[in-house]
Amino acid sequence: MTKATNSFGELGERVAARWLERQGYTVLARRWRSGHRDIDVIAERDGIVAFVEVKTRAALEFGDPVEAVHAQKQRSLVRSAREWMARHDAAKSEYRFDVIGVLLRDRTAWVRHVESAFTV
């Protein structure tokens, strides 16, 4: 991943985190890492922890960014979430896996939030 691509993705994650906060979520972590495992945003609202994968695009020519979260990425996110829950003594917490697609174009951001995008 190039530095420019990484910076673009990080901008999308910041947009997604701010959007979640405006929707009443508390952001618990951004860009959480454990070795090669990662979670873009971890947020909580109404006692439910959301592990959020953020996909950022500049155009829709390759499809909706939300559709880019394939089965391998889902499995990786589940493993990362289990590790986060173990480290934070949150094994009994209610949780779900969300996907946020961010389209950034002409200094405007469009956000699409899919709650419970996939199940374990």
Q: Select from 73, 35, 72 the least CA-distant residue to 53.
A: 73
Helix (H) or strand (E) holding 10, with range, is helix 3-22
- Supply the pTM of this predicted model: 0.90
CATH code of the domain made up of 3-118: 3.40.1350.10
Could you report the per-residue pLDDT of 17-64, keeping only the tens digit for each? 999 999 999 999 999 998 888 999 999 999 999 999 999 988 877 777
CB-count exposure of residue 68 (10 Å: 0-12, 13-18, 19+): middle
Q: Is 57 helix (H, G, I), strand (E, B) or coil?
A: strand
Please tell me the predicted confidence (pLDDT) of residue 4: 64
- Stated as kind and residue range, the H or E segment containing 96 is strand 94-105
